[in-house]
Structure 1
Amino acid sequence: MVCSHPSWVPTEGILDSDVGFCLQYGLTFTGLSMIDASLAVIVIQLEVPFAVLIAAFIFRERPGWQRLTGMLIAFAGVALIAGQPTLRGQLFAVFLIGSGAMIWAIGQIMVKQLAGAVAPLPLIAWIGCFAGPQMLIGSSLIETGQLDALRSAGWIGWGSVIYLGIVMTAIGYGIWYRVLSKHPITQVMPVLLLTPVFTIMTSIGFLGEQPSVDVLVGGAIVIGGVAMIVFSRASPTRSTSGT
C-alpha cells in the first residue's frame, strides 16, 4: 500500500506541502468563480514571482537580469492576452487568487526541499493520501449536491476526472517535480507563464475559437520572454540546496 509509513518518508514535510496545495486549490477555485477570466489570467500568474522571490530567500538563488527581464516581457505578453480587465467589484476575488498563488509557490519550495528524499511519483501518491480526506471534509462542510453531481456526470465529466487524475497529476506533476528537483526555481518557474499560450492553442484546436491579433501577438511575446529565461546563463553564485 502506498499509504504505509516507511521510516524514510518525511511525513511531516509532505503533510505541510499538501496542506499548502489543498488550501491553494480551495482559494484559487473560489476566486475563479467570482472573477472575470481576463483578470484571472493575470492574477494567477503571480505564483511565478512569488516562487522566484521565496527561492531567492531560501535557496539564495540569483535570477540575474536576463531572467528578470524575460519574466517582465512574458508578463507583458500575458497582459496583452488578457486585454484590459477591470478591478471593479472583484478585489476580494483577486485577494483569494493571489493568496492561492502564494500558497502554491510555497508548496513548490517545499517540494523542492523534499526532492532528495522522495521520488516524484511516490511524492504525488503520498500527497494524494493526505489530500483525499482533507478535500472530502472540506466538500462536506461547504458544498451540497455531491451525489447528484456524481449521478448526472456524463462522459465529459468523467473524462475530465480521468484526465486530471492521470494525465495532469500523475504524468504532468511527475515530470514537473522531476524538473523542479534538478533545476533552479528561478529558471523553471517562469516557464509556467506559457500556460495562457497553451490555453489559447487548445481553444483553437478543440473549441474552434478565433483569437484576435492582440492575443496572437501576446502569445508570441510570452514565448519570447520565456525563451529568454530558459536559455539565459546560470548565475555562478547560485545555490539550489535548501537551508
Structure 2
Amino acid sequence: MAPKDLMLALVVVVVWGVNFVVIKVGLHGVPPMLLGALRFTLAAVPAVFFIKRPKMPWRWLIAYGATISLGQFAFLFSAMYVGMPAGLASLVLQAQAFFTLIFAAIFLRERFSVPNLLGLFIAACGLAVIGMQGGHVMTLAGFVLTLCAAASWALGNIVTKKVGKVDLVGLVVWGSLVPPLPFLVLSYWFEGPQRIAAALAGIGATSIFAVVYLAFIATLIGYSLWSRLLSRYPASQVAPFSLLVPIVGLASASVFLGEQLSAPQVVGALLVMAGLAVNVFGAWIVRRFAPAR
C-alpha cells in the first residue's frame, strides 16, 4: 500500500475509533433517538443532491438503511445512553464480523472455514467474559443492546453482499435517507415531544459538534476514504485496518472520558481482538504455512 493511502487508512481508523467518544459526548445533551435523526438528516442532506443514487433496487436500499443505519445506531446510541462505555462499545460492536459469518451461512449458504470457527469461538469466549462483568463499569442492558447493534450491522453487510458491487459513498448517502423519519417517530414515542423541544432549544456547542462529526466526518468522510481504499486495493489488504478501530476507541475513551476496564474486561477484550485477528488472518496463515501437496 502506498504511503499516502496508508495514511488515509490510519485517518479512517482514528476517525471511526474516536467516533464512540463523540457519541458519548453527544448523548449528554441530545437523547439517543433524536441524535440518530439529526445525524442521518445531515448525512443525507445536502449530499443526496450531489451524489448519484447507487444502481440497486429501492427495496435493497431501504433494507440497507433500515439495518446498517437505523437498526445499528438505534441500538448503539441506546446502549451507550443506558451505560455502555464508549471504549467497550467500540470493541463489542466488532462482533458484527461474526454475526456476518452466521447470517451469511443462513441466508447466503456460505460455509465456515476452520479459522472462521476458531476465531468465532475465541471471540465468543471474550464476549462472555465481558458480558459477565455487567454492573462493573458497564450495564448488562448496554452490553446486550450493543450486541443487537452488531447484529444489525451484520444484516446490513448481508444486504450489501446481495446487491454486489455498488458505489459505497452513494450507498451510504442514499441509505441515510431511510433512518431520519423512523428515528423521529421513535424519539416522539420514547423521548416525548417536550424532551425533543427542550433538547433542540438548549442544544449546546458540544452537541452540535457531535452531530456534525457523526454526520460529516465519521459517515461521509470516513466512508469516502474507505471506499477509495477498497477501490484501489484488495479487500483482504484493507479489512485488517478495522482491527485497529477498537484499539483507538479504547485508548481515546481512556484519555478523554477517563474510562478504565476491570482486569476481566481486559482479558475479554484481548480474547475478542485475538478472535478477530484469527478470523481475518487465519486463512492466510493456513495457506502460508500449510505443507505443499
Normalised TM-score (structure 2): 0.59
Number of aligned residue pairs: 228
Q: How far did residue 43 of structure 1 move?
A: 7.4
The match for 1:49 among 94, 98, 108 is: 98
Q: What code does the residue aligned with 1:122 have?
A: G
Cα gap change, 1:227/1:8 in structure 2, threshold over 3 Å: closer, same or farther? closer
Q: Work out whether 1:69 is the aligned partner of 2:118.
A: yes
Is the Cα–Cα contact under 8 Å of residues 123 and 271 in structure 2 kept in the other structure?
yes
Q: State how far apart, in whole Å, the 2-side matches of 1:36 and 1:122 are.
A: 31
SS state at 2:176 partner: helix
Q: State how far apart, in whole Å, the 1-side matches of 2:256 and 2:140 are.
A: 32
- Which digits, 9 at most, give the CA deviation of each residue in 1:82-117, with x for residues without a partner? 55327xxx998877665554333222211232342x
Q: Work out whether 1:134 is the aligned partner of 2:178.
A: no
Q: What code does the residue aligned with 1:68 have?
A: L
Cα gap change, 1:6/1:205 in structure 2, threshold over 3 Å: closer, same or farther? closer
Q: State how far apart, in whole Å, the 2-side matches of 1:194 and 1:79 are.
A: 21
Q: How far did residue 50 of structure 1 move?
A: 2.6
SS state at 2:178 partner: helix
Corresponding residue for residue 2 of structure 1: 48
Is the Cα–Cα contact under 8 Å of residues 56 and 62 in structure 1 kept in the other structure?
yes
Is the Cα–Cα contact under 8 Å of residues 65 and 177 in structure 2 kept in the other structure?
no
Q: State how far apart, in whole Å, the 2-side matches of 1:9 and 1:24 are.
A: 21
Q: How far did residue 194 of structure 1 move?
A: 6.6
- Which digits, 9 at most, give the CA deviation of each residue in 1:172-198, with x for residues without a partner? 3445667889648xx96x987876544
SS state at 1:2 partner: helix
Cα gap change, 1:100/1:78 in structure 2, threshold over 3 Å: closer, same or farther? closer
Alignment of 1:79-118 (within 5 A): 79-81=128-130, 84-85=133-134, 99-116=148-165, 118=166
Q: How far did residue 65 of structure 1 move?
A: 1.3
Cα gap change, 1:75/1:66 in structure 2, threshold over 3 Å: closer, same or farther? same
Is the Cα–Cα contact under 8 Å of residues 60 and 159 in structure 2 kept in the other structure?
yes
> Which runs of 5 or more residues in structure 2 are unaligned?
1-46, 288-293
Q: How far did residue 212 of structure 1 move?
A: 4.3
Alpha-carbon RMSD across the aligned residues, in angstroms, is: 4.2
Normalised TM-score (structure 1): 0.69
- Which digits, 9 at most, give the CA deviation of each residue in 1:34-86, with x for residues without a partner? 56669x85975654433211112344433311222123223333444555327
Q: Work out whether 1:19 is the aligned partner of 2:66.
A: yes
The match for 2:256 among 191, 202, 206 is: 206
> Which runs of 5 or more residues in structure 1 are unaligned?
237-243
SS state at 2:134 partner: coil
Q: How far did residue 127 of structure 1 move?
A: 1.0
Alignment of 1:120-199 (within 5 A): 120-143=168-191, 144=193, 145-174=195-224, 183=235, 197-199=247-249
